[in-house]
Structure 1
Amino acid sequence: MLYPVMHAVVPPLAKVIWRPTVEGLYNLPDTGPVIVASNHLSFADSLVIPIVTTRKVTFLAKAQYFNGTGFKGAVSKGFFGGLGMIPVDREDSRAALASLDIALDILAKGGAFGIYPEGTRSRDGRLYRGRTGVAHLALTSGAPVVPVGLAGTQHIQPVGSTLPRLAKVTVKFGEPLQFQQQYDGVPVGRARREVTDQVMNAIQRLSGQQFAGVYNDHAGDAV
């Protein structure tokens, strides 16, 4: 597999270049299913989290990163695939449901799945209202949710730039949140909303962001 090779090379190199500050990594279980729920500031978020963790965390990535042709396409596919990312067609109306099925399969196999409850990255630095997919995963799989607060990743590759830059990056992992059996008998919609809000509150305590109070409907990339 390409992942072990990439993970042996990319993280040490990236840590030397960016020197990220990492706090609370011990909160991420070494084994077993876990949902890694983070705020979303940059394209780089899905690279930063796997780089600082000791285990594989799978994120979804835009299918176009895997569909390129020629040398550039091969490099892109090898890089993103080598970091453990899975392609998803965001233009497909069924993609959201398909991504949840992919996530549940990963969790059922004891893996770690990364998700951004905001849906897409914040362009103004505020923390937007979480969508309930993270709660669906937690309540369906029984897996704990580890909240993550990122800071500074928006400066690695600002919108409109083509090359990454040096930036001070902080990654904070919070205590795992357990929801299994807590919402037995509670209406599904209410349970998902309450769980999602708890996750977002935990993320906000780690990131220190201001709450936007609304959904982020900006049509941007989530990776």
Structure 2
Amino acid sequence: MINLITKLVLKPVAKAIYRPVIEGLENVPRDGGVILASNHLSFIDSVVIPLTAPRRVFFLAKAEYFTGTGLKGALSRALFQALNAVPVERGEIKAAQAALDSALEILREGKAFGIYPEGTRSLDGRLYRGKTGVAWLALTAGVPVVPVALEGPADILPVGKRIPRLRKVTVRFGEPLHFDELHGQARSARARREVTDQVMAAIHELSGQELAEVYNERPMAA
């Protein structure tokens, strides 16, 4: 029922309102496990990709989005379920590995999984260095990676804002990257770095963002 609502209601309404420019839909395999690796500009990225991709895309989302109470909690839960989000705990090393294991299970079931190699949103618009979780997944599951570039989500929902604005958004799906020659080498730090850098280079070619050449670390709380 939820998937029907997404397909018959959310997608048409979102496209009618925002009229997104979507490029490269033919590059997304219609079946089989695949990773959609995207730049990350706004919280709303995880709404834009599922609503514009040609197949269901699963993302990991903070467990808090599924555990709220009252009307707000119910609406949050319904939205993330409609977007095929999978709840995970965040913060610790064990939780990070559990998140990767959840993503791996999704891929082994032949589904599409969305990930942001930068790890967190870019607050200055630059493209940061990718973390190697995307490579671990690709090499362990033996699936292709489709690079994705988003342009405009930060204008729709800037950091600190709660209500989306009407702004133009562009989604570009690049040609799939295959790493068959490195399949099974997920334990190799060198192989993971090589794959991640190729993925980020492809995202950069699609997005044209300025490169930060450092990791995008979350600021420490005061």
Would you call these one fold, judging by a TM-score over 0.5? yes
Match of 2:37 in 1: 37
Shift of 1:183: 6.1
User: What are the Cα deviations for residues 87-138 of structure 1, in whole angstroms up to 9, with x where unaligned?
Assistant: 1122344221011101110111100000000000000000000000000001
More divergent stretch after superposition (90-99 vs 106-115): 90-99
Checking the alignment, whether the CA contact within 8 Å between 2:135 and 2:192 is kept in structure 1 is yes
Shift of 1:213: 0.5
Shift of 1:219: 4.4
SS at match of 1:131: coil
Match of 1:12 in 2: 12
Q: Name the aligned partner's letter for residue 39 of structure 1.
A: N
C-alpha distance in 2 between matches for 1:38 and 1:81: 21
Structure 2 residue 73 is matched with structure 1 residue 47 = no
Q: Which runs of 5+ in 2 are unaligned?
A: none
Structure 2 residue 106 is matched with structure 1 residue 106 = yes
Match of 2:137 in 1: 137
More divergent stretch after superposition (26-35 vs 67-76): 67-76
SS at match of 1:60: strand
Match of 1:205 in 2: 205
Match of 2:28 in 1: 28
Structure-2-length-normalised TM-score = 0.95
C-alpha distance in 2 between matches for 1:42 and 1:99: 21
Change (3 A) 1:185 1:89: closer
Q: Which runs of 5+ in 1 are unaligned?
A: none
More divergent stretch after superposition (79-88 vs 89-98): 89-98
C-alpha distance in 1 between matches for 2:136 and 2:74: 35
C-alpha distance in 1 between matches for 2:82 and 2:195: 32
Match of 1:196 in 2: 196
SS at match of 1:193: helix
Q: How many residues align?
A: 220
Matches within 5 A, 1:51-70: 51-70=51-70
More divergent stretch after superposition (30-39 vs 82-91): 82-91
Matches within 5 A, 1:144-163: 144-163=144-163
Checking the alignment, whether the CA contact within 8 Å between 1:37 and 1:148 is kept in structure 2 is yes
Shift of 1:70: 1.3
Checking the alignment, whether the CA contact within 8 Å between 1:38 and 1:150 is kept in structure 2 is yes
Change (3 A) 1:192 1:93: closer
More divergent stretch after superposition (45-54 vs 180-189): 180-189
C-alpha distance in 2 between matches for 1:6 and 1:155: 23
Shift of 1:54: 1.8
Checking the alignment, whether the CA contact within 8 Å between 2:27 and 2:175 is kept in structure 1 is yes
Structure-1-length-normalised TM-score = 0.94
Shift of 1:185: 7.0
User: What are the Cα deviations for residues 53-112 of structure 1, in whole angstroms up to 9, with x where unaligned?
Assistant: 121000111111111001221111011111100111223442210111011101111000
C-alpha distance in 1 between matches for 2:186 and 2:10: 44
C-alpha distance in 2 between matches for 1:75 and 1:96: 26
